[in-house]
Amino acid sequence: MSVSLLAQNLHGSEIIKIAGEINELKRQGQNIANLTIGDFDSNIYPIPAELKQGIVDAYGHNQTNYPPADGILDLRQSVSAFLKSRFGLEYAANQILISGGSRPLIYSTYLAVVDPGDKVVFPAPSWNNNHYCDLTGAEAVIIPATPENNFMPTAAEIAPHIKGATLLALCSPLNPTGTMFTKKDLEEICDLVIAENKTRLAGEKPLYLLYDQIYSQLTFGRHEHFNPVTLRPELKDVTIFIDGASKCFAATGVRVGWGFGPAHVINHMKAIVGHMGAWAPKAEQVAMAAYLKQDDLVNGYLSELKGNIQSSLNTLYQGFKDLKSEGFNVDAIEPMGAIYLTIKIDYIGKTTPEGALLKTSADINFYLIKAAGVAFVPFSAFGTADEVPWFRVSVGASTLQDIQQILPRIKDALFKLK
């Protein structure tokens, strides 16, 4: 039977394909360290105890009916105060939209501002922008980012592509790299957007900026999160933020995200999310509203979570640096934020002990799954070429001991390549 052109052309998740391979090997009895999914093992990283109890209590008080389409007022007010205290950002409750995680917010941003054929500019690697362009019929303008700038796009790389564009989609800390914008680099991009919008005629659609900061609370060491509106307040009318509880509270399954931006855009997004029915469950909203008000609890939880995530990332980072010093053709970029490490495993063109030629980064990945019992995600799953030998490593579903145990297996598997 025939289906729509959209259905025919939309690609499935490359990460899910890798997960299918892993699950098949697990069914065969193999022990695979799965460092692919950007999620948390809730037995290793449970949500805050007070948030969990608040959810249970809310269900106990029968908070099970439809929430308002934009989220319950108490939560939007709590998010407003949270944004003020954490970032100095002033957004009223009517400029905030609650949804079932951040995905509906990103999709509704595209639907609210992008028409079919409009240009959407974004870097590669980045998460899912290519698929959202497919879903909306937008023209994807992909900017290849480089390891020399930690895979973060620069103003110089963006500048040739924004004339006439409708949306510039950015993320920091970045999924999949775990790297971040510096203040200077983000300021230069902000100035580029401001300058472009000054060329637009009255009544013409501006260049909007989608800024995904879902990992903003998970930063390490000297690395500091910056946002466009704090750096350049005049961007407030064209910036739509994507944020939420999924990552900073290890609460991916709780499904509470929040977007915020200019009220006229948020109102349209509210209607879109409402028609999708992509609301966060009411009980979870009630509990999150109460939890966000408790700064001491929030700070304590974040401190412990960040410490544990950073230990795993640093151990893996140092392990790859050690392999590099021993002559292996690998590398890694210092962890800065999120739950990801960017690693390089440049063995394309090598042959496995069984005689198979490794032609792509995906080939390297599947070799390591079978030979080392460890799975990563090649950057090709995030829009780069198949021959780019860089990978995302996610540590949210692994213990520090798990991380320590995989390093000798990786070394042994790489040593066997010819």
Q: How far apart are CA 299 and CA 293, in angstroms?
A: 11
Are β-strands 208-212 and 96-99 bridged in parallel, bridged antiparallel, or unpaired?
Answer: unpaired
Mean pLDDT of all residues in the chain?
A: 96
Closest to 357 (Cα-Cα) out of 372, 371, 347: 347
Domain harbouring 63, CATH code: 3.40.640.10
Query: Last residue of some domain: 243, 274, 294?
Result: 294
Examine the domain organization and report whether 35 and 155 are in the same domain.
no
Q: Is it the case that residue 73 has pLDDT exceeding 70?
A: yes
Examine the domain organization and report whether 310 and 197 are in the same domain.
no
CA 302 and chain centroid, separation? 18
Q: What is the pLDDT of residues 152-196, one digit of tens each?
A: 999 999 999 999 999 999 999 999 999 999 999 999 999 999 999
Q: How far apart are CA 4 and CA 21, in angstroms?
A: 28
Q: How far apart are CA 38 and CA 116, in angstroms?
A: 30
Both structure tokens of 247 = 């990552």
Stretch 30-52: mean pLDDT, rounded? 94
Total-model pTM: 0.96
Higher pLDDT among residues 160 and 21, named by residue: 160
62: Cβ contacts below 8 Å, ≥ 6 apart: none
Rounded to the nearest 10 degrees, the angle between the axes of helix 295-325 and helix 400-415 is 20
How many domains in the chain? 2
* H/E stretch holding 2: none
Examine the domain organization and report whether 192 and 273 are in the same domain.
yes
Share of the chain above pLDDT 70, in %: 100
Q: How far apart are CA 253 and CA 410, in angstroms?
A: 31
For residue 232, the SS3 value is coil
Least confident of 28-37, 52-61, 126-135: 28-37
Stretch 223-238: mean pLDDT, rounded? 98
Domain harbouring 39, CATH code: 3.90.1150.10
Examine the domain organization and report whether 85 and 22 are in the same domain.
no
Q: What's the pLDDT score for residue 24?
A: 82
Q: What's the pLDDT score for residue 285?
A: 98
Burial class (CB in 10 A: 0-12, 13-18, 19+), 236: middle
Helix, strand, coil % in the chain, rounded to nearest 5 = 45, 15, 40
Examine the domain organization and report whether 278 and 358 are in the same domain.
no
Both structure tokens of 347 = 């063995």
Examine the domain organization and report whether 11 and 92 are in the same domain.
no
Task: Give the domain extent around 128.
Answer: 49-294
Examine the domain organization and report whether 199 and 261 are in the same domain.
yes
Query: Last residue of some domain: 279, 294, 309?
Result: 294
Q: What's the pLDDT score for residue 2?
A: 86
Burial class (CB in 10 A: 0-12, 13-18, 19+), 405: middle
The pLDDT-based confidence of 27 (bands split at 50, 70, 90) is confident
Q: What is the pLDDT of residues 337-358, one digit of tens each?
A: 999 999 999 999 999 999 999 9
Examine the domain organization and report whether 80 and 228 are in the same domain.
yes
Examine the domain organization and report whether 369 and 384 are in the same domain.
yes
Query: Last residue of some domain: 269, 294, 319?
Result: 294
Tokens 């490593």, located at residue: 393
Examine the domain organization and report whether 140 and 263 are in the same domain.
yes
Q: What's the pLDDT score for residue 6?
A: 87
Higher pLDDT among residues 7 and 415, named by residue: 415
Closest to 194 (Cα-Cα) out of 223, 249, 157, 231: 231
Q: What's the pLDDT score for residue 21?
A: 79
Q: Is it the case that residue 1 has pLDDT exceeding 70?
A: no
